[in-house]
Chains A and B, each alone.
Chain A
Amino acid sequence: MERRRFINFFFGGSFLATLAAFLYPVIRYVLPPKQAEAVQKKVAAAKMGDLAPNTAKIFKFGSVPAILVNTQEGQLLAFSAVCTHLTCTVNYEAATGTLFCPCHNGRFDMAGNVISGPPPRPIETYIVEVVGEDIFVSKKA
Protein backbone atom coordinates (compact mmCIF):
# COMPACT_ATOMS: atom_id res chain seq x y z
CA MET A 1 0.00 0.00 0.00
CA GLU A 2 1.16 3.49 -0.82
CA ARG A 3 2.37 5.45 2.17
CA ARG A 4 -0.03 8.36 1.71
CA ARG A 5 -3.06 6.11 1.32
CA PHE A 6 -2.07 4.18 4.38
CA ILE A 7 -1.87 7.35 6.44
CA ASN A 8 -5.24 8.61 5.17
CA PHE A 9 -6.76 5.26 5.92
CA PHE A 10 -5.20 5.15 9.35
CA PHE A 11 -6.30 8.64 10.38
CA GLY A 12 -9.72 8.34 8.75
CA GLY A 13 -10.31 5.04 10.53
CA SER A 14 -9.18 6.41 13.88
CA PHE A 15 -11.45 9.41 13.43
CA LEU A 16 -14.48 7.24 12.69
CA ALA A 17 -13.72 4.94 15.61
CA THR A 18 -13.42 7.93 17.94
CA LEU A 19 -16.69 9.33 16.64
CA ALA A 20 -18.41 6.01 17.27
CA ALA A 21 -16.94 5.88 20.78
CA PHE A 22 -18.45 9.29 21.49
CA LEU A 23 -21.81 8.61 19.87
CA TYR A 24 -22.48 5.25 21.47
CA PRO A 25 -22.85 6.54 25.04
CA VAL A 26 -24.92 9.49 23.78
CA ILE A 27 -27.38 7.21 22.01
CA ARG A 28 -27.61 4.86 24.97
CA TYR A 29 -28.11 7.81 27.31
CA VAL A 30 -30.97 9.19 25.26
CA LEU A 31 -32.85 5.88 25.12
CA PRO A 32 -34.76 5.45 28.39
CA PRO A 33 -33.63 2.66 30.74
CA LYS A 34 -35.97 -0.30 31.01
CA GLN A 35 -38.02 -0.23 34.16
CA ALA A 36 -39.69 -3.26 35.59
CA GLU A 37 -43.40 -2.76 35.17
CA ALA A 38 -45.48 -3.49 38.19
CA VAL A 39 -47.39 -6.59 37.14
CA GLN A 40 -50.64 -6.65 38.94
CA LYS A 41 -52.79 -9.73 38.65
CA LYS A 42 -55.77 -8.83 40.75
CA VAL A 43 -57.31 -5.62 42.04
CA ALA A 44 -60.33 -4.58 44.04
CA ALA A 45 -62.17 -2.57 41.42
CA ALA A 46 -65.28 -1.48 43.31
CA LYS A 47 -67.76 -2.38 46.03
CA MET A 48 -71.11 -4.01 45.44
CA GLY A 49 -73.70 -1.25 45.12
CA ASP A 50 -71.17 1.24 43.65
CA LEU A 51 -72.56 0.65 40.21
CA ALA A 52 -76.19 0.94 39.16
CA PRO A 53 -77.22 -1.30 36.25
CA ASN A 54 -76.26 0.07 32.85
CA THR A 55 -73.36 2.15 34.20
CA ALA A 56 -69.61 1.67 34.32
CA LYS A 57 -66.54 2.75 36.21
CA ILE A 58 -62.94 3.19 35.15
CA PHE A 59 -60.40 1.88 37.63
CA LYS A 60 -56.62 1.51 37.86
CA PHE A 61 -55.32 -1.90 36.89
CA GLY A 62 -51.60 -1.66 37.63
CA SER A 63 -50.45 1.27 35.54
CA VAL A 64 -53.24 1.14 32.96
CA PRO A 65 -56.94 2.00 33.05
CA ALA A 66 -59.56 -0.75 33.00
CA ILE A 67 -63.35 -0.55 32.97
CA LEU A 68 -65.95 -2.37 35.07
CA VAL A 69 -69.43 -2.51 33.53
CA ASN A 70 -72.69 -3.37 35.23
CA THR A 71 -74.78 -4.32 32.18
CA GLN A 72 -78.42 -3.58 31.48
CA GLU A 73 -79.16 -7.08 32.80
CA GLY A 74 -77.14 -6.45 35.94
CA GLN A 75 -74.18 -8.62 34.95
CA LEU A 76 -70.68 -7.51 36.04
CA LEU A 77 -68.06 -7.50 33.25
CA ALA A 78 -64.54 -6.09 33.17
CA PHE A 79 -62.36 -5.05 30.24
CA SER A 80 -59.10 -3.34 29.58
CA ALA A 81 -60.04 0.30 28.90
CA VAL A 82 -57.17 0.74 26.48
CA CYS A 83 -58.47 0.77 22.91
CA THR A 84 -56.69 -1.73 20.67
CA HIS A 85 -56.48 0.88 17.95
CA LEU A 86 -54.32 3.75 19.23
CA THR A 87 -54.63 3.41 23.03
CA CYS A 88 -57.36 5.94 23.92
CA THR A 89 -59.48 5.14 26.97
CA VAL A 90 -62.89 3.73 26.08
CA ASN A 91 -66.24 4.82 27.58
CA TYR A 92 -69.32 2.73 28.33
CA GLU A 93 -72.22 4.00 26.23
CA ALA A 94 -75.45 3.29 28.13
CA ALA A 95 -77.77 3.93 25.18
CA THR A 96 -76.27 1.10 23.15
CA GLY A 97 -74.72 -1.03 25.87
CA THR A 98 -71.34 -0.96 24.11
CA LEU A 99 -67.82 0.28 24.76
CA PHE A 100 -67.12 3.34 22.67
CA CYS A 101 -63.77 4.93 21.86
CA PRO A 102 -64.15 8.61 20.94
CA CYS A 103 -60.75 8.93 19.30
CA HIS A 104 -61.69 7.27 16.00
CA ASN A 105 -65.16 5.94 16.81
CA GLY A 106 -64.17 2.38 17.65
CA ARG A 107 -66.94 0.29 19.19
CA PHE A 108 -66.80 -3.01 21.11
CA ASP A 109 -69.58 -5.31 22.31
CA MET A 110 -69.86 -6.88 25.77
CA ALA A 111 -67.75 -9.84 24.64
CA GLY A 112 -64.94 -7.43 23.75
CA ASN A 113 -65.35 -7.89 20.00
CA VAL A 114 -65.05 -5.00 17.56
CA ILE A 115 -68.45 -3.97 16.22
CA SER A 116 -67.34 -1.03 14.13
CA GLY A 117 -64.52 1.44 13.57
CA PRO A 118 -60.80 0.98 13.08
CA PRO A 119 -59.68 -1.14 16.08
CA PRO A 120 -57.92 -4.18 14.63
CA ARG A 121 -58.37 -6.57 17.58
CA PRO A 122 -60.95 -7.34 20.29
CA ILE A 123 -60.39 -5.56 23.58
CA GLU A 124 -59.02 -7.68 26.44
CA THR A 125 -61.63 -9.08 28.85
CA TYR A 126 -60.96 -9.80 32.52
CA ILE A 127 -62.40 -12.13 35.12
CA VAL A 128 -64.77 -10.63 37.72
CA GLU A 129 -65.18 -12.20 41.15
CA VAL A 130 -67.40 -11.02 43.95
CA VAL A 131 -66.08 -11.75 47.44
CA GLY A 132 -68.46 -10.46 50.09
CA GLU A 133 -68.91 -6.77 49.30
CA ASP A 134 -65.80 -6.46 47.13
CA ILE A 135 -65.59 -6.81 43.37
CA PHE A 136 -62.23 -8.21 42.32
CA VAL A 137 -60.94 -8.15 38.76
CA SER A 138 -58.12 -10.35 37.54
CA LYS A 139 -56.33 -11.12 34.29
CA LYS A 140 -57.15 -14.29 32.45
CA ALA A 141 -54.30 -16.73 32.81
Chain B
Amino acid sequence: MKKIGQNLFTYVDERFKLQGLFDFAKHKKVPEHEDSFWYYFGGIALFLSGIQVATGIMLLLYYTPSIEAAHESIQFIMSQVKFGWLIRSVHSWTANILIGILFVHMFSTFFLKAYRKPRELTWITGFFLLILFMAFGFSGYLLPWNELSYFATRVGTDIAGSLPFIGKWLKGFILGGTSVSQATLSRFFWFHVALLPLAAFTVIVIHVLLVQILGMSVPLRLKDKKVKEISFFPDFIYKDALGWTLILVLVGVVCVFLPWEVGKKADPFAATPLGIKPEWYFTFMFTTLKLIPSHVLFIEGEQLAILAFMAGGIFWMLAPFLDRKAARERPSPVFTWIGIIVLLYIVVMTVVTYTVPKL
Protein backbone atom coordinates (compact mmCIF):
# COMPACT_ATOMS: atom_id res chain seq x y z
CA MET B 1 0.00 0.00 0.00
CA LYS B 2 2.74 2.38 0.99
CA LYS B 3 4.62 1.38 -2.14
CA ILE B 4 1.67 2.24 -4.36
CA GLY B 5 1.33 5.62 -2.70
CA GLN B 6 5.04 6.25 -3.17
CA ASN B 7 4.89 5.31 -6.84
CA LEU B 8 1.86 7.43 -7.43
CA PHE B 9 3.57 10.39 -5.83
CA THR B 10 6.70 9.90 -7.92
CA TYR B 11 4.60 9.65 -11.07
CA VAL B 12 2.79 12.90 -10.33
CA ASP B 13 5.91 14.67 -9.10
CA GLU B 14 7.90 13.78 -12.21
CA ARG B 15 5.24 15.45 -14.30
CA PHE B 16 4.08 18.34 -12.18
CA LYS B 17 7.38 19.07 -10.37
CA LEU B 18 5.71 19.37 -7.01
CA GLN B 19 8.85 19.08 -4.88
CA GLY B 20 9.43 22.84 -4.90
CA LEU B 21 5.96 23.44 -3.56
CA PHE B 22 6.48 20.91 -0.78
CA ASP B 23 9.80 22.47 0.16
CA PHE B 24 8.12 25.85 0.34
CA ALA B 25 5.37 24.52 2.60
CA LYS B 26 7.87 22.68 4.79
CA HIS B 27 9.99 25.74 5.44
CA LYS B 28 7.20 28.28 5.71
CA LYS B 29 6.81 29.65 9.23
CA VAL B 30 4.00 31.63 10.81
CA PRO B 31 4.66 33.99 13.73
CA GLU B 32 2.88 33.10 16.95
CA HIS B 33 2.02 35.84 19.46
CA GLU B 34 -0.95 37.37 21.31
CA ASP B 35 -2.58 38.61 18.11
CA SER B 36 -2.03 35.45 16.04
CA PHE B 37 -5.70 34.69 16.57
CA TRP B 38 -6.56 37.18 13.83
CA TYR B 39 -4.44 35.33 11.28
CA TYR B 40 -7.12 32.67 11.01
CA PHE B 41 -9.92 34.80 9.62
CA GLY B 42 -8.54 35.01 6.08
CA GLY B 43 -8.37 31.23 5.95
CA ILE B 44 -11.93 30.97 7.23
CA ALA B 45 -13.05 33.36 4.48
CA LEU B 46 -11.30 31.17 1.93
CA PHE B 47 -13.02 28.08 3.30
CA LEU B 48 -16.45 29.76 3.27
CA SER B 49 -15.89 30.93 -0.32
CA GLY B 50 -15.37 27.28 -1.20
CA ILE B 51 -18.69 26.38 0.43
CA GLN B 52 -20.39 29.11 -1.62
CA VAL B 53 -19.03 27.73 -4.87
CA ALA B 54 -20.10 24.18 -4.00
CA THR B 55 -23.63 25.03 -2.81
CA GLY B 56 -24.09 27.60 -5.56
CA ILE B 57 -23.33 25.03 -8.25
CA MET B 58 -25.89 22.70 -6.69
CA LEU B 59 -28.60 25.38 -6.56
CA LEU B 60 -28.13 25.99 -10.28
CA LEU B 61 -29.61 22.59 -10.96
CA TYR B 62 -33.15 23.68 -9.99
CA TYR B 63 -33.15 27.47 -10.03
CA THR B 64 -34.83 29.25 -12.99
CA PRO B 65 -33.88 32.90 -13.66
CA SER B 66 -37.24 34.17 -14.92
CA ILE B 67 -39.67 36.48 -13.17
CA GLU B 68 -42.52 34.02 -13.70
CA ALA B 69 -40.64 30.99 -12.43
CA ALA B 70 -37.84 32.11 -10.11
CA HIS B 71 -39.91 32.33 -6.93
CA GLU B 72 -41.63 29.04 -7.70
CA SER B 73 -38.31 27.30 -8.37
CA ILE B 74 -37.01 28.39 -4.96
CA GLN B 75 -40.17 27.09 -3.34
CA PHE B 76 -39.64 23.83 -5.20
CA ILE B 77 -36.06 23.59 -3.89
CA MET B 78 -37.24 24.26 -0.33
CA SER B 79 -40.18 21.87 -0.28
CA GLN B 80 -39.75 19.16 -2.94
CA VAL B 81 -36.06 18.58 -3.56
CA LYS B 82 -34.48 16.28 -0.97
CA PHE B 83 -32.18 18.39 1.22
CA GLY B 84 -32.95 21.37 -0.98
CA TRP B 85 -33.74 23.39 2.16
CA LEU B 86 -30.31 22.51 3.52
CA ILE B 87 -28.34 23.43 0.42
CA ARG B 88 -30.18 26.72 0.01
CA SER B 89 -29.97 27.61 3.69
CA VAL B 90 -26.24 26.86 3.77
CA HIS B 91 -25.73 29.10 0.73
CA SER B 92 -27.75 31.98 2.21
CA TRP B 93 -26.41 31.76 5.74
CA THR B 94 -22.82 31.27 4.65
CA ALA B 95 -23.08 34.34 2.42
CA ASN B 96 -23.95 36.41 5.49
CA ILE B 97 -21.41 34.79 7.79
CA LEU B 98 -18.73 35.18 5.12
CA ILE B 99 -19.31 38.91 4.89
CA GLY B 100 -19.19 39.16 8.69
CA ILE B 101 -15.88 37.29 8.67
CA LEU B 102 -14.55 39.60 5.94
CA PHE B 103 -15.34 42.62 8.10
CA VAL B 104 -13.50 41.03 11.05
CA HIS B 105 -10.57 40.13 8.79
CA MET B 106 -10.42 43.62 7.35
CA PHE B 107 -10.60 45.47 10.66
CA SER B 108 -8.08 43.14 12.31
CA THR B 109 -5.54 43.67 9.53
CA PHE B 110 -6.30 47.38 9.75
CA PHE B 111 -5.66 47.63 13.47
CA LEU B 112 -2.54 45.45 13.25
CA LYS B 113 -1.37 47.76 10.42
CA ALA B 114 -0.74 44.65 8.35
CA TYR B 115 -1.39 46.84 5.29
CA ARG B 116 1.90 48.66 5.70
CA LYS B 117 4.72 48.32 3.21
CA PRO B 118 5.21 45.89 1.45
CA ARG B 119 1.62 44.62 1.84
CA GLU B 120 -0.21 47.57 0.23
CA LEU B 121 -1.49 45.43 -2.62
CA THR B 122 -2.62 42.70 -0.26
CA TRP B 123 -4.79 45.33 1.41
CA ILE B 124 -6.12 46.78 -1.83
CA THR B 125 -6.97 43.37 -3.32
CA GLY B 126 -8.64 42.54 0.00
CA PHE B 127 -10.69 45.71 -0.17
CA PHE B 128 -11.85 44.75 -3.67
CA LEU B 129 -12.80 41.32 -2.37
CA LEU B 130 -15.07 42.90 0.22
CA ILE B 131 -16.73 45.00 -2.49
CA LEU B 132 -17.04 41.94 -4.74
CA PHE B 133 -18.60 39.88 -1.98
CA MET B 134 -21.06 42.65 -1.15
CA ALA B 135 -21.94 42.66 -4.85
CA PHE B 136 -22.43 38.89 -4.64
CA GLY B 137 -24.81 39.49 -1.74
CA PHE B 138 -26.71 42.23 -3.54
CA SER B 139 -27.12 40.30 -6.79
CA GLY B 140 -27.93 37.00 -5.08
CA TYR B 141 -30.59 38.67 -2.95
CA LEU B 142 -32.78 39.44 -5.98
CA LEU B 143 -32.67 35.94 -7.44
CA PRO B 144 -35.63 34.50 -5.39
CA TRP B 145 -37.68 37.43 -6.77
CA ASN B 146 -39.47 38.18 -3.53
CA GLU B 147 -41.01 41.37 -2.21
CA LEU B 148 -38.13 42.45 0.01
CA SER B 149 -35.44 41.78 -2.56
CA TYR B 150 -37.44 43.48 -5.30
CA PHE B 151 -37.66 46.77 -3.41
CA ALA B 152 -34.11 46.49 -2.06
CA THR B 153 -32.99 46.28 -5.68
CA ARG B 154 -35.07 49.29 -6.67
CA VAL B 155 -33.54 51.38 -3.91
CA GLY B 156 -30.01 50.05 -4.39
CA THR B 157 -29.92 50.64 -8.12
CA ASP B 158 -31.47 54.08 -7.75
CA ILE B 159 -28.58 54.95 -5.43
CA ALA B 160 -26.19 54.01 -8.23
CA GLY B 161 -28.33 56.15 -10.54
CA SER B 162 -27.90 59.27 -8.44
CA LEU B 163 -24.13 59.30 -8.78
CA PRO B 164 -22.87 62.35 -10.62
CA PHE B 165 -21.86 61.91 -14.30
CA ILE B 166 -21.88 58.10 -14.58
CA GLY B 167 -25.08 57.53 -12.58
CA LYS B 168 -27.60 57.14 -15.39
CA TRP B 169 -25.27 55.02 -17.44
CA LEU B 170 -24.36 52.81 -14.51
CA LYS B 171 -27.98 52.30 -13.51
CA GLY B 172 -28.88 51.29 -17.07
CA PHE B 173 -26.00 48.84 -17.12
CA ILE B 174 -27.00 47.26 -13.80
CA LEU B 175 -30.74 47.13 -14.52
CA GLY B 176 -30.52 46.21 -18.18
CA GLY B 177 -33.22 48.84 -18.78
CA THR B 178 -34.96 51.59 -16.90
CA SER B 179 -36.70 49.62 -14.14
CA VAL B 180 -36.36 46.35 -12.22
CA SER B 181 -37.68 43.79 -14.70
CA GLN B 182 -36.90 40.47 -16.37
CA ALA B 183 -33.84 42.09 -17.92
CA THR B 184 -32.64 42.93 -14.42
CA LEU B 185 -33.13 39.40 -13.15
CA SER B 186 -31.21 38.04 -16.15
CA ARG B 187 -28.39 40.46 -15.50
CA PHE B 188 -28.22 39.82 -11.76
CA PHE B 189 -28.09 36.12 -12.50
CA TRP B 190 -25.24 36.79 -14.91
CA PHE B 191 -23.39 38.89 -12.33
CA HIS B 192 -23.94 36.33 -9.63
CA VAL B 193 -22.96 33.14 -11.42
CA ALA B 194 -20.59 34.31 -14.15
CA LEU B 195 -19.00 37.72 -13.85
CA LEU B 196 -18.48 38.00 -10.10
CA PRO B 197 -17.15 34.44 -9.62
CA LEU B 198 -14.60 35.03 -12.36
CA ALA B 199 -13.54 38.37 -10.88
CA ALA B 200 -13.49 37.09 -7.29
CA PHE B 201 -11.48 34.02 -8.23
CA THR B 202 -8.86 36.14 -9.96
CA VAL B 203 -8.57 38.58 -7.07
CA ILE B 204 -8.48 35.81 -4.43
CA VAL B 205 -5.60 34.14 -6.28
CA ILE B 206 -3.63 37.39 -6.29
CA HIS B 207 -4.48 38.11 -2.64
CA VAL B 208 -3.49 34.67 -1.39
CA LEU B 209 -0.40 34.57 -3.58
CA LEU B 210 0.75 37.85 -2.08
CA VAL B 211 0.18 36.48 1.41
CA GLN B 212 2.31 33.43 0.57
CA ILE B 213 5.10 35.42 -1.04
CA LEU B 214 5.32 38.07 1.67
CA GLY B 215 4.61 35.87 4.69
CA MET B 216 2.58 37.03 7.67
CA SER B 217 3.23 40.49 9.01
CA VAL B 218 4.18 40.92 12.65
CA PRO B 219 2.46 43.70 14.63
CA LEU B 220 4.50 46.90 14.93
CA ARG B 221 4.92 46.70 18.68
CA LEU B 222 6.70 43.34 18.37
CA LYS B 223 9.06 44.70 15.75
CA ASP B 224 12.29 44.48 17.73
CA LYS B 225 11.28 41.53 19.88
CA LYS B 226 11.99 37.93 19.21
CA VAL B 227 8.74 36.36 18.03
CA LYS B 228 8.02 32.67 18.36
CA GLU B 229 7.23 30.88 15.12
CA ILE B 230 5.29 27.75 14.30
CA SER B 231 5.45 25.73 11.12
CA PHE B 232 2.86 26.48 8.44
CA PHE B 233 2.59 22.79 7.74
CA PRO B 234 1.33 21.01 9.76
CA ASP B 235 0.90 23.23 12.86
CA PHE B 236 -0.79 26.28 11.36
CA ILE B 237 -2.90 24.20 8.98
CA TYR B 238 -4.17 22.08 11.86
CA LYS B 239 -5.33 25.17 13.71
CA ASP B 240 -6.84 26.51 10.49
CA ALA B 241 -8.73 23.24 10.06
CA LEU B 242 -10.02 23.51 13.61
CA GLY B 243 -11.42 26.96 12.80
CA TRP B 244 -13.05 25.61 9.64
CA THR B 245 -14.64 22.77 11.53
CA LEU B 246 -16.07 25.11 14.16
CA ILE B 247 -17.52 27.45 11.58
CA LEU B 248 -18.97 24.52 9.62
CA VAL B 249 -20.72 23.32 12.76
CA LEU B 250 -22.04 26.82 13.34
CA VAL B 251 -23.42 26.99 9.77
CA GLY B 252 -25.02 23.56 10.15
CA VAL B 253 -26.72 24.39 13.43
CA VAL B 254 -28.10 27.72 12.19
CA CYS B 255 -29.43 26.12 8.99
CA VAL B 256 -31.24 23.34 10.80
CA PHE B 257 -32.89 25.65 13.32
CA LEU B 258 -33.43 28.68 11.10
CA PRO B 259 -33.86 27.56 7.48
CA TRP B 260 -33.71 30.54 5.12
CA GLU B 261 -37.12 32.01 4.27
CA VAL B 262 -38.65 32.18 0.82
CA GLY B 263 -40.75 35.32 1.33
CA LYS B 264 -43.67 36.58 -0.72
CA LYS B 265 -43.40 36.72 -4.49
CA ALA B 266 -42.52 40.19 -5.76
CA ASP B 267 -45.37 42.30 -7.15
CA PRO B 268 -44.12 45.43 -8.91
CA PHE B 269 -47.57 46.99 -8.49
CA ALA B 270 -47.93 46.53 -4.75
CA ALA B 271 -47.03 49.05 -2.08
CA THR B 272 -43.64 48.64 -0.45
CA PRO B 273 -44.08 46.59 2.75
CA LEU B 274 -43.62 48.44 6.04
CA GLY B 275 -40.37 47.96 7.95
CA ILE B 276 -38.41 47.13 4.81
CA LYS B 277 -34.63 46.97 5.13
CA PRO B 278 -31.73 45.53 3.16
CA GLU B 279 -29.36 42.75 4.28
CA TRP B 280 -27.60 43.64 7.52
CA TYR B 281 -24.27 44.59 5.95
CA PHE B 282 -25.89 47.40 4.00
CA THR B 283 -27.89 48.74 6.93
CA PHE B 284 -25.27 51.23 8.16
CA MET B 285 -25.56 53.02 4.81
CA PHE B 286 -29.32 52.51 4.62
CA THR B 287 -29.91 54.07 8.04
CA THR B 288 -27.63 56.97 7.17
CA LEU B 289 -29.88 57.63 4.17
CA LYS B 290 -32.90 57.58 6.45
CA LEU B 291 -31.45 60.03 8.95
CA ILE B 292 -29.89 62.57 6.61
CA PRO B 293 -32.13 65.59 5.88
CA SER B 294 -33.43 65.97 2.34
CA HIS B 295 -31.17 68.93 1.66
CA VAL B 296 -27.85 69.88 3.22
CA LEU B 297 -26.93 73.40 2.12
CA PHE B 298 -27.25 73.30 -1.66
CA ILE B 299 -26.94 69.56 -2.24
CA GLU B 300 -29.50 66.75 -1.88
CA GLY B 301 -28.90 64.86 1.35
CA GLU B 302 -28.90 61.50 -0.37
CA GLN B 303 -26.25 62.57 -2.88
CA LEU B 304 -24.12 63.99 -0.10
CA ALA B 305 -24.30 60.70 1.82
CA ILE B 306 -23.43 58.66 -1.26
CA LEU B 307 -20.49 60.88 -2.14
CA ALA B 308 -19.29 60.75 1.47
CA PHE B 309 -19.42 56.94 1.48
CA MET B 310 -17.52 56.81 -1.79
CA ALA B 311 -14.87 59.23 -0.55
CA GLY B 312 -14.62 57.23 2.69
CA GLY B 313 -14.23 54.00 0.73
CA ILE B 314 -11.46 55.44 -1.42
CA PHE B 315 -9.68 56.78 1.65
CA TRP B 316 -9.99 53.36 3.31
CA MET B 317 -8.64 51.61 0.22
CA LEU B 318 -5.65 53.96 0.06
CA ALA B 319 -4.86 53.73 3.80
CA PRO B 320 -1.49 51.95 3.21
CA PHE B 321 -0.29 54.92 1.17
CA LEU B 322 -1.74 57.60 3.43
CA ASP B 323 -0.41 56.10 6.65
CA ARG B 324 3.15 57.36 6.17
CA LYS B 325 4.18 56.48 9.71
CA ALA B 326 3.28 52.81 9.53
CA ALA B 327 5.04 52.64 6.17
CA ARG B 328 8.20 53.65 8.05
CA GLU B 329 7.51 51.05 10.76
CA ARG B 330 6.50 53.64 13.31
CA PRO B 331 3.31 53.65 15.44
CA SER B 332 0.47 55.58 13.81
CA PRO B 333 -2.17 56.29 16.47
CA VAL B 334 -4.06 58.61 14.12
CA PHE B 335 -4.94 55.67 11.89
CA THR B 336 -5.86 53.54 14.86
CA TRP B 337 -8.32 56.27 15.85
CA ILE B 338 -9.69 56.54 12.34
CA GLY B 339 -10.26 52.79 12.40
CA ILE B 340 -12.04 52.99 15.76
CA ILE B 341 -14.31 55.77 14.52
CA VAL B 342 -15.19 53.91 11.30
CA LEU B 343 -15.85 50.70 13.22
CA LEU B 344 -18.00 52.50 15.81
CA TYR B 345 -19.99 54.24 13.09
CA ILE B 346 -20.74 50.96 11.32
CA VAL B 347 -21.60 49.11 14.55
CA VAL B 348 -23.77 51.89 16.02
CA MET B 349 -25.71 52.47 12.79
CA THR B 350 -26.27 48.73 12.33
CA VAL B 351 -27.48 48.26 15.91
CA VAL B 352 -29.73 51.33 15.63
CA THR B 353 -31.34 49.87 12.49
CA TYR B 354 -32.55 46.85 14.41
CA THR B 355 -33.32 48.41 17.79
CA VAL B 356 -35.04 51.70 16.98
CA PRO B 357 -38.11 50.55 15.03
CA LYS B 358 -39.70 53.97 14.60
CA LEU B 359 -36.61 55.43 13.05
Contact A118 B271 (CB under 8 A): no
Determine whether the beta carbon of A32 is less than 8 Å from that of B176. Answer: yes
Quick check: is B81 within 8 A (CB to CB) of the other chain? no
Question: Do the beta carbons of B302 and A118 come within 8 Å of each other?
Answer: yes
Contact indicator per residue, chain B 174-209, by CB within 8 Å of chain A (1) or not (0): 011111000100000000000000000000000000
Point out the residues of chain B lying under 8 angstroms from A104, CB to CB: 286, 289-290
**Chain A residues closer than 8 Å to B359, beta-carbon distance:** 105
A69 to chain B, nearest CB (A): 12
Whether A81 pairs with B271 at a CB distance below 8 angstroms is: yes
Question: Do residues B177 and A87 form an inter-chain contact, with CB atoms below 8 A?
Answer: no
Is the CB–CB distance between B271 and A58 below 8 Å?
Answer: yes
B276 touches A117 (CB 8 A): no
Partner of B272, one of A35, A59, A64, A88: A88
Give complex CA distance A102, B162 in Å: 20
Partner of A118, one of B272, B275, B293: B293
What would 17 more interface pairs be, CB under 8 Å, given A86-B162, A87-B154, A117-B294?
A32-B173, A32-B177, A37-B178, A63-B179, A64-B179, A86-B154, A86-B155, A86-B289, A86-B302, A88-B151, A89-B270, A89-B271, A91-B274, A101-B272, A103-B272, A118-B301, A120-B300
A102 touches B276 (CB 8 A): yes
Tell me how many residues of B have a C-beta within 8 Å of chain A. Answer: 35
Q: B276 near A120 (CB under 8 angstroms)? A: no
Query: Once bound together, how far apart are the Cα atoms of A21 and B160, in whole Å?
Result: 29
Residue of A nearest to B301 (CB): A118
Q: How many A-B residue pairs have CB under 8 A?
A: 81
Interface string of B130-154 (1 = CB under 8 A from A): 0000000000000000000001001
State in angstroms the CA–CA spacing of A130 and B302 once bound together. Answer: 38
A91–B276 contact, CB under 8 A?
A: no
A residues in contact with B270, CB < 8 Å = 58, 89
**Cα–Cα distance between A91 and B294 once the two chains are bound (Å):** 20
The answer to whether the Cβ of B324 comes within 8 Å of any Cβ in the partner chain is no
User: A30 to B272, alpha carbons, bound, how many Å?
Assistant: 30
User: Across the interface, do B271 and A85 meet the contact criterion of CB distance under 8 Å?
Assistant: no
